[in-house]
Amino acid sequence: MLAHHAGRVVLVDGAIPGERVHARVDRERRDVVFATVIGVVEPDPDRRPLESDPTCGGQAYLHITYDRQRQLKSQVIGDALRRMTQFDKTVPVPVAPSPERGHRMRSRLHAGSSGLGFLRGGTHKLCNSARTGQLLPETNRVVSKVGRRLSRSKHGSVLHVDLAESMNADMRVMNFHLSKSCTPELISAWTADCGLTGVTCSSPRSEKITVISGRPTIVDPIGAIVQGDLSRQGSIERHARSFFQGNRYLLSSLVEAVCRRVDTGPVLDLYAGVGLFSVALASLGIEPITAVERDVSARKDLVANATDTCVDVIGTSVERFLAGSSQSIPGTVIVDPPRTGLGRPVVELLIERQVSSLVYVACDVATFARDLRRFGDAGYTVEDIEAFDMFPNSAHIELLASLKR
């Protein structure tokens, strides 16, 4: 939370706006002081007891009641838009709620002497992922069982383990990312009879994913993700290494919100990932669709998911794709960039290509507001904004905006 002292900004972990607290200064930069609450002098009515370590797995809002968390996130959005854009939004942007427990169907786990777990914020120290409540109880049992075997083997080559689940948790895959080449027999010993439907391994020196056992991918039927009358059935399939939205409870709501903003084709899906939005739109009869994705793992999944659809997959970077032609882009463009946002070069290329309708999905408020300002300076208007609490108990927010030229 934000405070001010002696003309400097103070960021205080563990506080709530309006409280008086005792805080310890952890580090300083020229204009910013970073501090942590060590005692509460006058608590806010919305302060609640901590159920676990808030630094474990990114739970900076854990001490705040859930309804207040959503109010604060709405205020953060409004403040960023007022400061960084010309978008005059007097009505707060509501934040769609999520159950706080068991929402996470993707996670990166790290290995240590105590097994597998999350890292405590700002450190390389392992913490117990089960205590955070982010994973389902059965998932915690799987992680604990594999972690105990891994710690007993004292095998130091595991850089991290990527865990992915289907929406209903009937499929669960682990990918072991190793500093050395994969040893199938050893990994099989770690994962035998653990409730995993697939086990794979990979290494930094190769883009290849080696299948150890079971099915290497997670599959969700498109009907579980897309709301409405489908013109075709299909599925969304992905490897554990491929990026995918992490909240099982809000996934369908986010996809529905994107699809609602696209009436007809053509559609250009940039940073398409495994094809979540492209395949969803194709299942609703929207065509033609072009999906651009550079990441090798995600693109492999995208190609499989786009089979027998109108989706044309392009394997290159967004910058290279947009710079490859000077023609205007008709229809709707969907962008779902990483946390760093679009950045000035991509924004300028989209403006040069005279994109008339843009659907922007973002996971960082600051870069989202920055990019909206750049589009606003070029004559675009923001028609609406929605927000989704894909990461309850954290400071992160998933955002969605419609822009028109």
pLDDT tens sequence across 213-231: 999 999 999 999 998 888 8
Average pLDDT, the chain: 93
For residue 233, the model assigns a pLDDT of 85
DSSP state letters, 55-120:
TBTT-TTTTB-HHHHHHHHHHHHHHHHHHH-S----S---EE---SSS-B-EEEEEEETTEEEEEB
DSSP state letters, 311-378:
EEEE-S-HHHHHHT--S---SEEEE---TT-SHHHHHHHHHHTT--EEEEEES-HHHHHHHHHHHHHT
**Whole-angstrom distance, CA of residue 204 vs CA of residue 95:** 38
Q: Inform me whether the pLDDT recorded for 188 exceeds 70.
A: yes
Name the pLDDT band for 204 (thresholds 50, 70, 90): confident
For residue 395, the model assigns a pLDDT of 93
Selection from 243, 201, 248 nearest residue 337 by Cα: 243
For residue 89, the model assigns a pLDDT of 58
For residue 86, the model assigns a pLDDT of 67
pTM of the predicted structure, to 2 decimals: 0.93
Per the CB < 8 A criterion, the answer to whether 181 and 206 are in contact is: no
- List the strands of the sheet with 198-203, edge to edge: 126-127, 115-119, 106-112, 158-165, 172-178, 198-203, 206-214
**5-14, 194-203, 311-320, 346-355: least confident range:** 5-14
Domains along the sequence of the chain with CATH: 1-47 (2.40.50.140), 106-165+172-214 (2.40.50.1070), 219-404 (3.40.50.150)
**Whole-angstrom distance, CA of residue 297 vs CA of residue 293:** 10
Q: Inform me whether the pLDDT recorded for 265 exceeds 80.
A: yes
Q: Inform me whether the pLDDT recorded for 87 exceeds 80.
A: no
Name the pLDDT band for 122 (thresholds 50, 70, 90): confident
pLDDT tens sequence across 14-30: 999 999 999 999 889 88
pLDDT tens sequence across 93-103: 999 999 999 99
